[in-house]
């Protein structure tokens, strides 16, 4: 999503949600967040699971250094020991090589995801070991630039929604989806605003 689309979505959200309107007055319009589509994005998703952003970036950098090209074939050519030394856990190595094998054998066609509906693409991604709904939502939102995605399992989004709506406790993913159902068809833009709200808002 480019700046114009985000601005259009924010205006629509502010019309239907006063809390959004107040947040926009405080923070402004969120900037685009884009990840390149392809194998690297999926490999990065595995690396990033359950660790900090800083740690994930360091490990991903070491993994990339190992590979002559960032591809499924290059990943499979690496030994488990080399990947473990780069910082991947054995479970993540299993997931990464499973992803690479699925790509090479044609069981998972990354290029075809763009032509799928949101539901079809999420189903295809979550069929892979190590990829849950959060990973699928993030790929659709940031790499495929889909406009109506809300990664309800994202803890930062849930915490931001709690603050935005002045809730006593952090909502569950199900409760969060219900709370922002009226944001459709601009839930991706709402997610961008919530990430900004989580990192920047003082109240």
Among 1.20.1250.20, 1.10.1670.40, 1.10.10.10, 1.10.3720.10, what is the CATH number of 3-32+149-200?
A: 1.10.1670.40
CATH 1.10.340.30 placement within the chain: 39-143
Mean pLDDT over the full length of the chain? 94
Over residues 49-105, the pLDDT tens digits come to 888 889 999 999 999 999 999 999 999 999 999 999 999 999 999 999 999 999 999
Residue 202: the pLDDT is 53
List pLDDT tens digits, range 111-163. Answer: 999 999 999 999 999 999 999 999 999 999 999 999 999 999 999 999 999 99
Domain 39-143 part of CATH 1.10.340.30: yes
For residue range 176-198, list pLDDT tens digits in order.
999 999 999 999 999 999 999 99
Where are the domain boundaries for CATH 1.10.1670.40 in the chain? 3-32+149-200
Secondary structure percentages of the chain, helix, strand, coil, to 5: 65, 0, 35
pLDDT at 9: 97
The alpha carbon dihedral of 69, 74, 75, 78 has a sign of negative
**pLDDT above 70 (res 203):** no
């Amino acid at each position: 999503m480019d700046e114009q689309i985000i601005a259009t979505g924010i205006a629509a959200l502010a019309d239907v949600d006063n809390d959004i309107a107040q947040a926009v007055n405080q923070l402004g319009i969120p900037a685009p967040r884009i990840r390149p589509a392809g194998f690297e994005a999926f490999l990065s998703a595995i690396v990033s699971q359950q660790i900090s952003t800083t740690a994930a970036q360091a490990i991903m950098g070491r993994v990339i250094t190992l590979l002559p090209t960032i591809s499924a074939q290059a990943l499979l050519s690496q030994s488990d020991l080399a990947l473990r030394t780069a910082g991947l856990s054995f479970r993540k190595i299993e997931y990464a090589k499973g992803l690479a094998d699925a790509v090479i054998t044609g069981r998972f066609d990354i290029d075809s995801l763009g032509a799928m509906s949101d539901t079809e693409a999420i189903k295809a991604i979550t069929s892979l070991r190590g990829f849950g709904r959060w990973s699928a939502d993030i790929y659709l939102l940031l790499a495929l630039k889909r406009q109506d995605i809300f990664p309800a399992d994202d803890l930062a989004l849930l915490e931001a929604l709690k603050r935005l709506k002045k809730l006593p406790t952090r909502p569950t993913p199900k409760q969060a989806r219900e709370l922002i159902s009226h944001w459709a068809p601009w839930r991706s833009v709402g997610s961008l605003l919530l990430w900004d709200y989580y990192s920047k808002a003082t109240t």
